[in-house]
Amino acid sequence: MAKPDIVELGRIKYRCLSILPFTSLLSVVSLGLYLGYRVRCLAASQFPASDAYEQLNSWVYLVAELGLFLPNFFNHLLRCLSIGGPMKAQHLRLLDKNDPPRVDLFITCAGEDLDTIVNTAEAACAIDYPTHRFRVIVLDDAGSKELSHKIENLKESRENVYYTARKKTLNHHFKAGNLNHGYRYVESLPGGPAPFIAALDADMIPDPKWLRALIPHLMKDDNLALAQPPQRFYDVPTHDPLLQGLDVNFKVTEPIKEMMGATWCGGSGYIIRRAALDSIDGYPTGSVGEDMYCSNILLGKGWHAVYVDESLQHGRVPDSYKAHVKQQGRWHVGRIQTAIAMRFYLFGDPSSKMGFRQRFAGLIYTLLSFTNILTTLALLAIPLSLWSGHPVVVYPSDRDLRNLLGLAIACVTSEWLDDCVVSLVTGYRIAVAEGHASYWIAPYHTAAIIGALLPSWLQRKTFAFTASGSSNDEFNERDSTKIAPFSKRVGELFWNSKIFLHLIYFTICSAGIIRSVIMLSQREHETRASLIEDFVIHFGWPPLLWLVCLNSVAIPIRYAFLPPTIPQREQLLKRDPVLRASYPKGVESAGEDILLFSQDLCYSLCMVYTTGLFLYAWNLSVRCPQSHN
């Protein structure tokens, strides 16, 4: 067997990532100091009984700050632990042309578009690997006779492709059950099971070098259970308003986890060692996130996983707003179900052989899912604070106000520096928009999490697996030639997808700002400094959370009226006459539009405002908030 060759990646990206833990540490420290001092000032402030509402409003706004800051805080905390981690920036290639390791490649499907499934099977069969050394098995959970017929036709020219469909029982465990069917099915094939199993979703098209790029990682290390490249998508909308390209996750978070030694499987497209699966009796079925659950159990047994940072596969994103929200909700529910099964990565047999960083990463991801509940409360707290008419920040002395304002400005500045480092890898717009995207969708996540955690005797949400891009969008939101009439489409999005709640929120929050401005203009101010102080402590406190929330909830509203468009699937693919499969023509990064530009502009205005406030803060002749009525 020939040795794999090693090709080094460009180091610029990883040098940027090596800076990120230090900017994240700065953000963690500044935010920790700010929140600590914020609580101290609030606890130390003395209020007469008549000002009880003023104190209550300050606590309400503190809840808003916690709910909106904690997701970033946990993300920064995760990045901090990658300090000192190795920069694994390698491409490997298997050169053996005759006798490479045998592989069983599963394609899971459950009622997706037949042309999509068949093309994935064709591309899998066309992988640059000896046909007698790998088998392509289509696992059809829908039991489609038409698909069975198409695969049989394909087998006439591709002898290494197989079709199988299981007989479902009441507890069929969705995708995990389908994978287990394939895991057992290959035992009956000639030659028995292969030492490696690869898995693709119905829409994930593998590159011809897919196996030769992944297999060497498992060959080099007998304790390596799993290797996975990033998921890329060929039908991301040009402006990607919902951030479905997952750029920050695959370009920043996953490499950071790899530097921590805390990689786990993040979805479609991976190769796993069968011996590792044998050690845990096949794919586990206790979570709707079977990929994450399986890889975490393997980590708990002492196995390892690797993230191969190379574009080797391209799939499809959910093609509707509803499908996107459902997919995101399933991911968060899967995280929490996995954490419960793993005893939150803190103790017991499930995580007994995990290292500290692996446990910490698992715990942080779980907490990130739970923060959706706090973020939802924070969204509600912002308009309540605005409409109360009371200061959102209180302090016992002039010096405390200056210190508190300085720490708030430090938080905003450190967050901006962190975004700038991320933008070196993802682009500035993606880095900025990532934070906005997590707020508007938090209520959906909260509903999904609560619904999944309810006792069995109450109504419980069941999350069946649906491949990305395979949902049936009867309104054709993104097809300019088939899109449903405006009234029907907007009505569906506003009522069934609950976007009307975002519109109500936007209206109430905007009205609260207008009311605050009117009340401020009606107050008498002896000096210019007192006017500025009044403005800052009522609705101008950095980083202007009300503006952040308005920007975020505008995303689904804008989507309802002006959804992005994408070409037909066939227009995005090009048929290779030699390989006899269709591949993406090219994957373009997200473009710009007016709303996305406005998000960048608002973010920049916040930074300009914060800078101006910093320059002016130390010249303010501050006075205590108790004098405000």
Say yes or no: 76 and 108 in one domain: no
φ, ψ of residue 441 to 5 degrees: the values are: -90, -10
Say yes or no: 493 and 622 in one domain: yes
| DSSP 8-state secondary structure symbol assigned to residue 485 | P
Q: Which two tokens stand for residue 398?
A: 């002039």
Treating both helix axes as pointing N-terminal to C-terminal, what angle do 545-561 and 594-617 enclose, rounded to 10 degrees? Answer: 170
Asked if 246 and 30 count as a contact pair (C-beta separation under 8 A), the reply is: no
> Residue 46 has what pLDDT?
66
Q: Which residues contact 270 (CB under 8 A, 6 or more apart)?
A: 198, 199, 214, 226, 227, 228, 229, 291
Domain around 50: 12-83+370-454+488-562+591-627
Say yes or no: 249 and 205 in one domain: yes
Q: Which residues contact 446 (CB under 8 A, 6 or more apart)?
A: 372, 373, 375, 376
Tell me if 241 is assigned to some domain.
Answer: yes
Say yes or no: 608 and 554 in one domain: yes
Q: Which residues contact 478 (CB under 8 A, 6 or more apart)?
A: 237, 319, 320, 563, 564, 565, 566
Say yes or no: 444 and 392 in one domain: yes
> Residue 458 has what pLDDT?
66
Say how far residue 52 (Cα) sits from the centre of its chain: 40
pTM of full prediction above 0.95 = no
* 3-class state of residue 343 by DSSP: helix
| DSSP 8-state secondary structure symbol assigned to residue 273 | E
Q: What's the CATH number where 318 sits?
A: 3.90.550.10
According to DSSP, the residues that pair with 483 across neighbouring strands are none
* 3-class state of residue 137 by DSSP: strand
Say yes or no: 237 and 139 in one domain: yes
Q: How many Å apart are CA 548 and CA 558, to the nearest integer? A: 16
Tell me if 142 is assigned to some domain.
Answer: yes
Q: Which of 333, 368, 403 is the last residue of a domain?
A: 368
Q: Which amino acid is at 402?
A: R
Tell me if 404 is assigned to some domain.
Answer: yes
Q: How many Å apart are CA 319 and CA 184, to the nearest integer? A: 33
Say yes or no: 375 and 355 in one domain: no
Mean pLDDT in order along the chain per 10 residues (629 residues): 40 76 95 94 71 82 93 93 74 87 97 95 97 97 96 95 92 92 96 97 96 94 95 88 91 90 90 97 92 96 93 93 94 95 93 94 95 96 92 87 89 91 86 84 95 73 52 74 87 93 96 92 82 88 92 93 88 93 73 52 78 70 41
Say yes or no: 378 and 394 in one domain: yes
Number of domains in the chain: 2
How many beta carbons lie within 10 A of that of residue 472, not counting itself? 11
Say yes or no: 414 and 298 in one domain: no
Tell me if 581 is assigned to some domain.
Answer: no
Q: Which amino acid is at 270?
A: Y
Asked if 393 and 535 count as a contact pair (C-beta separation under 8 A), the reply is: no
Q: Which of 318, 341, 368 is the last residue of a domain?
A: 368
Tell me if 475 is assigned to some domain.
Answer: no
Q: Is the peptide bond before 542 cis (omega within 30 degrees of 0)?
A: no
φ, ψ of residue 240 to 5 degrees: the values are: 40, 60
Q: How many Å apart are CA 309 and CA 127, to the nearest integer? A: 19
Q: Which of 345, 368, 391 is the last residue of a domain?
A: 368
Asked if 122 and 158 count as a contact pair (C-beta separation under 8 A), the reply is: yes
Tell me if 569 is assigned to some domain.
Answer: no
Q: How many Å apart are CA 198 and CA 556, to the nearest integer? A: 37
Q: How many Å apart are CA 68 and CA 550, to the nearest integer? A: 13
* 3-class state of residue 307 by DSSP: strand
Say yes or no: 522 and 537 in one domain: yes
Say yes or no: 214 and 330 in one domain: yes
The string of DSSP codes covering 352-392 is TT--HHHHHHHHHHHHHHHHHHHHHHHHHHHHHHHHH-S-S
The string of DSSP codes covering 373-442 is HHHHHHHHHHHHHHHH-S-S---SSHHHHHHHHHHHHHHHHHHHHHHHHHHHHH-HHHHHHHHHHHHHTH
Q: How many Å apart are CA 430 and CA 369, to the nearest integer? A: 21
> Residue 627 has what pLDDT?
41
Q: Which two tokens stand for residue 113?
A: 């578009």
Say how far residue 184 (Cα) sits from the centre of its chain: 32
Say yes or no: 104 and 207 in one domain: yes
Which residue, among 348, 381, 346, has the nearest Cα to 367 in the 3D structure? 346
> Residue 269 has what pLDDT?
94
Q: How many Å apart are CA 505 and CA 553, to the nearest integer? A: 8
Tell me if 476 is assigned to some domain.
Answer: no
Q: How many Å apart are CA 140 and CA 361, to the nearest integer? A: 34
The Cα angle at residue 224 between residues 221 and 227, in degrees rounded to 5: 110
* 3-class state of residue 232 by DSSP: strand
Tell me if 335 is assigned to some domain.
Answer: yes
Q: What is the dihedral sign for C-alpha 72, 74, 75, 81? A: positive
| DSSP 8-state secondary structure symbol assigned to residue 239 | S
